[in-house]
Amino acid sequence: MASGSTLSCRNHGDRGAGQVCGECGDPLCGDCSNRVTDVTLDDYGAGGVRRLIVGLLLIAGSLVLLDALPRGIWLALASVAGKPLYLRLGLKPAFLLTGIALLGTLRFRGISGGFDFSGFSIVTRRNNARVVCQSCYDGDKRLQRTLSRVFKLIAVALIVYGIYQSVAALFFRWLWISGVGGAIWILREDLKLAVIELSS
């Protein structure tokens, strides 16, 4: 650094290494590095309060607000469609599941400090990418990537299926399935973490 010297790639000695494996520390060139979102590298940041408010609003919407809307809105939609849509019955579980999922992603600081809440804060867990070498990638990083893809696929499939069923049959109770998909999407990193923890 001070002298302008550089590291050499562990696998290709004639190439410079601009990165190291974040787990074992081996210097790596671009061709030898794998960049993966690693749940063990997560950190925490602000934005927890906003997420809490959105989550609570969704839950409140499910339990109270949708019922408080004027009945005429639902009747008007039904008259346009020519049949009952059951939209409220579909939105209520979808909102509830999404709201609970959002609350499930929150973390708290200072709740173990007794009655002293001076250090209390709500934070969110943030994902980070980590550079790893091939041998470290072949450990739990490959499993992480697979799990991430699986949960995304399930979430997207459920969201699409719920919407498709609702629109195709004009029977919007199926929206609860999209709600499940949305909740899985929101919680996918936490679910991945849980699987990694349990499997290890």
Partner 1 sequence: MYQAEVHRTVSEVRLLERLSFDLTITDEAYQSEHSTDGEIRVFNRADDQVIRDREYPPAHPLGVLTGGVSGESESAYPGTTLYVGVAREPPLEQDEDAFQDDYVMKAIDVDGIPEDGVVGVDLDWDAAEARESMADDTARVATERYDISGLPNDQLPIIVRAELYRDAKRILRVLRNEEDGQRDDLRGRQQYEGQAALVLDIEHRTESGADSAPLRVEGLQVGLSRTFPQIQFDPEHGSSYDPQSRQVKWGSRTVQPGDTARYAIIGPISELLEVDRLDARLQATLGGRTLSGVTVAELFDESGESTQQWQESTPTVSEKTTITAEVEIDPSALRGESKEVSSSRITMQTTPVALFNELVKVCDRNGINITERSPPGDGTPVEGREGVYDVSGEDAGELDVRREYGDEGVVYAGMEITGRYTAMSEEAQVSTFDETEDRLVRRTKGGLDDAGRATLDIDARSADAELNSRFLSTIEEAFGGEM
User: What residues line the site for partner 1 (CB under 8 A)?
Assistant: 1-3, 5-8, 10, 17-22, 25-28, 33, 38-45, 104, 106-113, 119-121, 123, 125, 128-132, 190, 193-194, 196-198
Nearer Cβ to partner 1, position 10 or 88? 10
Nearer Cβ to partner 1, position 59 or 85? 59
Nearer Cβ to partner 1, position 51 or 161? 51
Contact 71, 171 (CB under 8 A): no
Instruction: Outline where the chain has alpha helix (H).
Output: 48-60, 66-68, 71-81, 87-104, 134-136, 142-169, 175-199
Tell me the closest approach of the beta carbon of residue 196 to partner 1, in angstroms: 7
Three-class secondary structure of residue 18 per DSSP: coil
Tell me the closest approach of the beta carbon of residue 163 to partner 1, in angstroms: 29
- Among the listed residues 76, 90, 97, 196, the one whose alpha carbon sits nearest the alpha carbon of residue 155: 97
Three-class secondary structure of residue 61 per DSSP: helix
Contact 105, 186 (CB under 8 A): yes
Nearer Cβ to partner 1, position 133 or 177? 133
Tell me the closest approach of the beta carbon of residue 61 to partner 1, in angstroms: 22
Using the structure block, give the residue that is written with the tokens 């609003």: 57
Tell me the closest approach of the beta carbon of residue 124 to partner 1, in angstroms: 9
